[in-house]
Structure 1
Amino acid sequence: NQVGLTNSQMGSYGLKGVAKNAENEMTATDVAKLAQYLIKNYPSLLNITKMTSTTIDGTTVTTINKMLPGQSDAPTQVKIDGLKTGTSDKAGACFVSTGTYQGHRIITVVLHATGGGDERFTQTANLYRLIANEYTAYTVQPSVAVTVPNGKVTTTTLTTQGKITLWKKDGTLLSPSLAINSKAADKNGKLTAPVKKGQVVGELTYAGLTGLDGNNVTVDVVPTTNVDKANVFVRMGRWVKSHI
């Protein structure tokens, strides 16, 4: 379970057929996905995790997140506002951090840090330095011209439905490849009319850029204009010209 309780502690919510002393195990990717989900769906959580101290029933509670602003390990590149430290015998010292860097939300995960509890903060700082020194965020709205062999007009432009942000390692190129969806393509893989402006007809794939699922980053593309289908006489004329 995502809480970290043993199966027996989950009571009626425990998994059937699983030992009562079984505990949750997650990879760093799993933890990052969970953190991403929490921040996206419960953003007010950060109002709590960014606090360095608070008073509950007359008792002052102080954070152990040493990377929050004003704390001993606060980084200069990123403004940290969360998220969670943790320690267990199997996982060691762990830290899921999040903060903003150049206007972008970043999540890092460090598991099983050795060398004491503060090592998780040291390794997290190393990750942020790596981002600052070797990666650049590009906010773009890519577009590509394509042919529409059976359209009234034989070309159109495909673009994303809005601007996208891609993190690129410095010195590498962003070279997306286009694939038209099977329902929007002819037998040769070309875009086929009719198509509507804003209709998802394919996707761009960025080889070398991987998401949390381990797959190459893909983004949907749509036509910027309507393209009606040419009448049969126009299409026959084009076919004749192409075979002369």
Structure 2
Amino acid sequence: MEDKRVKSVLKWMQVVMVSVIALMIVVPTKVQAEEAIPVLADAAIVVDAETGQILYGQNDEAVLGIASMSKMMSEYLLFEAIEEGLVSWDEEYQVTDYSHRISQDLRLSNVPLRRDGLYTMKELYEAMAIYSANAATIGIAETIAGTEKAFVQMMNDKAVELGIEDAHFVNSTGLNNSFLLGMHPEGTGEDEENTMSARSVAILTKALLDDYPEILETAKIPELMFREGTSDEIRMVNWNTMLPGMEYEYEGMDGLKTGTTDFAGHSFAGTAKRDGVRLIAVVMKAVDAEGEGSYKARFDATRALLDHGFAFQEVELMKAGQQFMGQESLPVEKGEQEQVAIAVKEPVRLMVPSAQQEAYRTELELTEEAPITATVEEGQTVGQVKVLDATDNEVQYLQEKPAADVVATETVERSNWFALSMKSAVDFIKGLF
């Protein structure tokens, strides 16, 4: 009778243990699922602007329409041309029939240009950066390259140079070519539009911020008068209404570029800075709960991404000079010592969610198979630090991750020929027995 009771108790305890283990497995999975960001968009990404670390990605490698986010490439090429002395901010543009006719199209974002007018690069740039003025962008393209066709080639070439492999530019503005009144760049389709992935838009945004941070001085202006004091003046209100004091304001927001077409939907490449941390968020074809695209939808999606990103904080996973437990040294072949001590060269820092700091871990990834052949120099790179997140996936970056080298902390000289010969003889004798 007692045996039956004991068996019954043991069986009950077994059931309880299985249930507890099941809960331990299911609960973290549920928590992870609940942490997914409610981004209603065809694609989205948020990254740390300094390192390019991806904090969240959603279909971010899908190639989609980018609309006026294209103008970030036009801005990059303008700043580069200014830097190289090819054009100046005071240089005047003589309006062409092409730019004039586009500027009169009230369906588009534009500042009106006079057919016989002269406009400085500074004026056209402000109209492009603040008001997404399409004819002004064409004027900049024609000034830099002579024709928009040549400028589009520059845009595609620069994309490759920046490491963007999926960009396809057909015009300088991001409009569908069908809006260009039959004057779209030669060699492009009459209904084509610029395309790129969200990840690549983030790469372009980061490059613009890294190389020409002064873009933000203009991008953060809520409104400005074009040609103020003249009969052509027009009030330019920034399309980025997440700027402070505007309808969808967001703390720290200071750029960068919206985009809207039927093909691309409501898209946005935004950037904000808080407490020394700058983030880049990209949303493409954002919609609301009913599946309708709108300005609000794209800013709601951007807000969700930035809120998620600012919940991360920078941590130091390894200090400079720190060693991997159990891997403090590597075997050396043909050296005066049989081992060489190794350690991390620089601190390993990254952004992690506040609630998951302990879940991130590091691994040693050797650059060559051990043993290492002597001579081994102090400071010689022998590997890199691999960082894994809470789900054991390697932390991802937009492009190359920042170097976190593991180096030899001492020099191990190569043994002389006599010592090597004696060692070989000893090893041979040991092998016999």
Q: Same fold (TM over 0.5)?
A: yes
1:218 Cα deviation from its structure 2 partner: 6.9
Task: State the shift of 1:156 in Å.
Answer: 2.1
Identity value in percent: 25
Deviation at 1:31, TM superposition (A): 1.1
Bigger relative CO (Cα 8 Å, ≥ 6 apart): 2
Instruction: Work out the CA distance in 1 between the residues paired with 2:410 and 2:190.
Output: 59
Unaligned runs of 5+ in 2: 1-167, 178-182, 289-293
Q: CA deviation at 1:229?
A: 2.2
Per the TM alignment, residue 5 of structure 1 is displaced from its structure 2 partner at its CA by 5.4
409, 413, 424: which one aligns with 1:229: 413
- 2:396 alignment counterpart: 210
Aligned to 2:158: none
Encode CA deviations 1:60-80: one digit per residue, 9 max, x unaligned. Answer: 42212122223332234xx11
Cα RMSD after superposing both structures: 3.2
Distance 1:100 1:122 in 2: 18
Matches within 5 A, 1:164-243: 164-169=348-353, 170-171=355-356, 173-182=359-368, 185=369, 189-207=370-388, 208=393, 209-212=395-398, 219-223=403-407, 225-232=409-416, 233=419, 236=423
Tell me how far 1:191 sits from its aligned partner: 4.1
2:175–2:261 CA contact under 8 A, matched in 1: no
1:137 alignment partner in structure 2? 314
Question: Would the aligned equivalents of 2:384 and 2:403 in 1 still touch at CA under 8 Å?
Answer: yes
Q: Give the structure with the higher percent helix.
A: 2
Distance 1:81 1:198, change over 3 A: farther
Residues 148, 48 of structure 1: alpha-carbon distance in 2 compared, 3 angstrom cutoff? farther
Deviation of 1:227 (Å): 1.4
**Cα distance, 1:9–1:194 mapped onto 2, change above 3 Å:** farther
CA contact (8 A) 2:241 2:247 kept: yes
Structure 2 partner of 1:97: 270
Q: Using the TM superposition, give the Cα deviation of residue 223 of structure 1 relative to its aligned residue in structure 2, in angstroms.
A: 2.1
Unaligned regions of 5+ residues in structure 1, if any? none
* Larger of the two Rg values belongs to structure: 2
Q: Which residue of 2 aligns with 1:30?
A: 200
The answer for the alignment partner of 1:127 in structure 2 is 305
Q: Tell me whether 81-90 or 173-182 shows the greater mean CA deviation.
A: 173-182
TM-score scaled by structure 1?
0.76
Structure 1 position 230, deviation (Å)? 4.3
Tell me which residue corresponds to 2:162.
none
**What count of residue pairs does the alignment treat as equivalent?**
226
Residues 1:71 and 2:246 are matched in the alignment: yes
Distance of 2:175 and 2:372 partners within structure 1: 52
Per-residue deviation, 1:92: 1.1
One-letter identity of the residue aligned with 1:86 = G
